[in-house]
Amino acid sequence: MRESQYSQIGIFDSGVGGLTVLKELYQQLPNESILYFADTARLPYGNRSPEEITQFVREILTWMADRGVKMVIMACNTSSALALETVQSEFHLPILGLILPGARAAVQKGRRIGVISTPATAASNAYLNAVKEIDPTAEVWQVGCPEFVPLIEQNRIRDPHTKKVATKYLEPLLARQIDTLIYGCTHYPHLEPLLQEILPSRVRLIDPAKYVVTAAEQELEILGLKSSRLPLPTRFCVSGSPEKFAQASRPWLGYVPVVEQVSLPAIAAPTISLETLE
């Protein structure tokens, strides 16, 4: 197992949202080499069905496993909510999701918890269930925000339309007098300056990216896989346009990355036999 200590950590998202997790990896685990995949050809994930999301995740994980990653972080709340448990049982490598680390952090900060997320994550009730499992007395309200990811991918964060949309999404949560807000999508920390203009200062903001990377560090230490030498440059891969991703990520990375376009393997979805159903 020590032989794979210096292998890459794989992280993936539908687009630039996962860069918030990448930033935390750089800060908390500076010696780790990273393979970043953005499934930009099929963005956004938030309006997809659970079956589609799970199949996309299988394809991404198969591609990453073929490249010898030692761990995968789902830098996508929608994938974490809809596919994590299924693929953890199908792949023989550590796979971490965002929901549980984010929920744990939220219940330590407040009692009236709001969640903004993609419609698919909201419909899954993943954060609601995770928070209630940790603390049944906590109150949780969720809002699906379908316009956020496209606006962020288009770098329209300072567009007046984006503030109008954000105000609309936050209104029902503010009416509930939330004291804590979970970013239920890794894209949303990019909106933090805008959200802080709308939210009262009492509302604590929870970015699950910070806490999933803390969990990743603990897992690497337990498995004896934490790197102790300087990392290789991060490898960026996409399923869509490399040029578009390179330009979209520039504001968050501070430079224009070298981006490769890759093709994911065609993976047949597991079939359920009649015997299994019986």
Catalytic residue flag (residue 145): no
CB-count burial class (<10 Å; 0-12, 13-18, 19+) for 72? buried
The DSSP annotation for the chain comes to -GGGTTSPEEEEESSGGGHHHHHHHHHH-TT--EEEEE-GGG---TTS-HHHHHHHHHHHHHHHHHTT-SEEEE--HHHHHHHHHHHHTT-SS-EE-SHHHHHHHHHHH-SEEEEEE-HHHHHHTHHHHHHHHH-TT-EEEEEE-TTHHHHHHTT-TT-HHHHHHHHHHHHHHHHTT-SEEEEESTTGGGGHHHHHHHS-TTPEEE-HHHHHHHHHHHHHHHHT----SPPPPPEEEESS-HHHHHHHHHHHHSS---EEE------PPPPPPHHHH-
Ligand-binding annotation for 14, yes or no, is yes
Residues 6+ apart with CB under 8 A from 160: none
Q: How far is CA 223 from the centre of its chain?
A: 23
Ligand-binding annotation for 234, yes or no, is no
Ligand-binding annotation for 45, yes or no, is yes
Ligand-binding annotation for 161, yes or no, is no
Strand order across the beta sheet in which 204-206 lies: 139-144, 112-117, 180-184, 204-206
Ligand-binding annotation for 10, yes or no, is no
Catalytic residue flag (residue 185): yes
Ligand-binding annotation for 254, yes or no, is no
The token pair at 66 is 């073929």
Ligand-binding annotation for 46, yes or no, is yes
Ligand-binding annotation for 31, yes or no, is no
Catalytic choice (11, 29, 72, 76) = 76
Catalytic choice (25, 185, 195, 216) = 185
Binding residues for substrate: 13-14, 45-46, 77-78, 186-187
Please list the active-site residues.
Answer: 76, 185
Q: Which residues are annotated as a binding site?
A: 13-14, 45-46, 77-78, 186-187
